[in-house]
Amino acid sequence: MTIKESQDKIIDDFALFEEWSDKYEHIIQMGEDLPAMDPKYKVDENLIRGCQSKVWLHAEFKDGLLHFTADSDAQITKGLVALVVSAVSGHTPADIADTDFYFINAIGLTGHLSQTRAGGLASMVKQIKMYALGYKVQQAQKN
Amino acid sequence: MKVAETMVQIPLDIEKIRLDFPILHTTVNGKPLVYFDNGATTQKPLAVTRAIETYYNTYNSNVHRGVHTLSQKATMAYEEARTTVAGFINAQPEELIFTKGTTDAINLLAYTFGKKFIKEGDEIIISAMEHHSNIVPWQLCCEERKAVLKVVPINENGELLMDEFERMLSDKTKLVAITYVSNTMGTINPVRDIIRLAHARKVPVMLDAAQAVQHIAVDVKELDVDFMAFSGHKLYGPTGIGALYGKLSWLEQLPPYQGGGDMIKTVSFDKTVYADPPLRFEAGTPNIAGAIGMAAGVKYIIGIGLDKIATTERILTEYALERLSSIDGLRLIGMAEHRGPTFSFVIGNSHPTDVGELLDQQGIAVRTGHHCTQPLMDRYCIPGTARASLSFYNTPEEIERLVDGINKAMKLLKR
């Protein structure tokens, strides 16, 4: 699945829910389904700034693709990071760096999220892009 | 206790009072607002917003420096506001310094008192339940003066260990700075004992009354307290205004805090003669509208009656305690015998921000996080709490909505 297809699927999934509680239930479920993060990566260097709750994000570069693992001590935040990670994980740094995370607005999350949570989400996206750009530059230098 | 039964005991006509607060009739996320974040800031009655509006629309002018009519009217209103706020705590007007708020008041005291009275090896006593505003200024002061900050520990219920406090007091102690009411746990501290013990050693006491003056009638003369800090915005007034009370005999000894207009008698390039308190500590154009608004808030409370407010809040507190305790897995942080209407809680392993966000979806405003009391959170080994803090304008029905809201949130969080 391309990043665009992943994002469209997230949008379709959320379109099914009318109640705010169903949306949140789905987000929390996404968090629960997120593959467990290796505890050795749950270190301060992997903490994302700007989140009220703790969010760890780790990037692994393998065979030209960038894989993300993440975790959070709060369930809703974990679900949010799971959504973002699921949309882009396993793609090339170049593709991820160029990604417009349009699904966030499309599923109406920004309207529902508290300002601090929305800020945290922006920080997650920013951190993912930072990783992608870093590896993209590294690759360009090798080629 | 049933809702109907509770309403019968409440001495105030809450529904009538709520008409004074337009915001209480708004909706959040499609639901009627339940505002339980009064510990952070209270809502403003029309009496306050109208006083500010009238000032700006009819006599806006600078104070203490104009001979024209508007300036005289503004000066009069500003000084009347000082008299009103001072009278509210039974202080003289010259003993009341207008500040930006509690934090500013404590910083003012820490800076000036530190400069004048604290030297190397001296000690300042605070407590384990202080919020950052009553920790950091004293840390800065101690660092600068090479003094030592001592912290009175608390028990599991969130009450001060008074034996420890007594042991800590010594000839080295130069000041005790302790909160009257905990902003996180609602604990009401035995301030009379604290003041008595400190004074026995000739040590002055500053009370952080930011969470006290809106709930309890505070009389500084009767308490014999030396300094007291509080905010306008937690007292149904506007933000950006607060006060530092100080006994005149203390204030007269303190050096200026900031330099600039209004804090001087005369200025020449050789020597500046500072004004007497309180103006010595009010450099620059003060928050005139803020002071007028704060006084309007105080008058509003006096009009209702602090005794009736206290009784209403006590009944709501008992009701909330009973209803919150009925929730499976809910743990209240702080179970002091003497407490105000503030409830901090954690539920199971749920993160407080998750609980807060799911309550917000239901129109219920609570505070989440560490409440600027990080050392206290460390004491209980928790990342933070959700906090519901009540005011006399809250109702038993709203407490029921909170309980239902928590139950709904817990169903979603399932842990």
For B351, the closest chain A residue by CA position comes to: A74
State pLDDT tens for residues A72-111.
Answer: 988 998 998 999 999 999 999 999 999 998 988 888 766 6
Q: What is the DSSP code (8-state) at residue B220?
A: H
Give the C-alpha separation, B400 to B12, whole Å.
19
Contact (CB, 8 A) for A43 and A68: no
Give the C-alpha separation, B343 to B378, whole Å.
18
State the 10-residue block means of pLDDT for chain B, 415 residues long.
84 96 96 98 98 98 90 96 98 98 98 97 97 97 98 96 98 98 96 98 98 97 98 98 98 94 83 91 96 98 97 97 94 95 94 93 93 84 92 98 96 83
User: Among A21, A25, A74, whose Cβ lies nearest the Cβ of B354?
Assistant: A74
CA angle B338, B189, B392 (to 5 degrees): 55
pLDDT score, position B220: 98
Taking each helix axis from N to C end, the angle separating A75-88 and A115-142, rounded to the nearest 10 degrees, works out to: 30
Name the residue type at position A17.
F
From the candidates A10, A51, A81, A124, which is the catalytic residue? A51
pLDDT score, position A140: 84
User: Among A24, A77, A116, whose Cβ lies nearest the Cβ of B358?
Assistant: A24
Q: Which residues of B touch A77 (CB under 8 A)?
A: 351, 353-354
Give the C-alpha separation, B285 to B302, whole Å.
28
For A23, the closest chain B residue by CA position comes to: B412
pLDDT score, position A113: 63
Give the C-alpha separation, B35 to B401, whole Å.
11
Of B381, B94, B124, the C-alpha closest to B244 is B94
Of B168, B184, B188, B164, the C-alpha closest to B176 is B168
Residues β-bridged to residue A123: none
Number of A to B CB contacts under 8 A, please give it. Answer: 47
Residues β-bridged to residue B364: B34
Could you tell me how far CA B217 lies from the centroid of its own chain?
A: 13
Residue with tokens 């942080």: B333
pLDDT score, position B89: 98
pTM of the model: 0.92
Give the C-alpha separation, B23 to B13, whole Å.
18
State pLDDT tens for residues A4-42.
Answer: 999 999 999 988 988 889 989 999 999 999 988 999 999
State pLDDT tens for residues B358-406.
Answer: 999 999 999 998 878 888 888 888 888 999 999 999 999 999 999 999 9
- Can you spell out the DSSP letters for chain A? --HHHHHHHHHHHHHT--SHHHHHHHHHHHHHHSPPPPGGG-SGGGBPTT-SS-EEEEEEEETTEEEEEEEESSHHHHHHHHHHHHHHTTB-HHHHHH---THHHHTTHHHHS-HHHHHHHHHHHHHHHHHHHHHHHHHHHH-
User: Most A CBs within 10 Å: which of B29, B349, B357, as the mutation test of the A interface?
Assistant: B357
Q: Which residues of B touch A74 (CB under 8 A)?
A: 351, 353-354
Taking an 8 Å cut-off on Cβ atoms, the answer to whether B357 and A113 are in contact is: yes
Give the C-alpha separation, A33 to A29, whole Å.
6
A51 given a catalytic annotation: yes
pLDDT score, position A120: 76
Average the pLDDT over A107-118 and give the result.
66
User: Most A CBs within 10 Å: which of B354, B358, B382, B414, as the mutation test of the A interface?
Assistant: B354
Q: Which residues of A touch B413 (CB under 8 A)?
A: 28, 75
Q: Is B58 exposed, middle or buried (0-12, 13-18, 19+ CB in 10 A)?
A: exposed
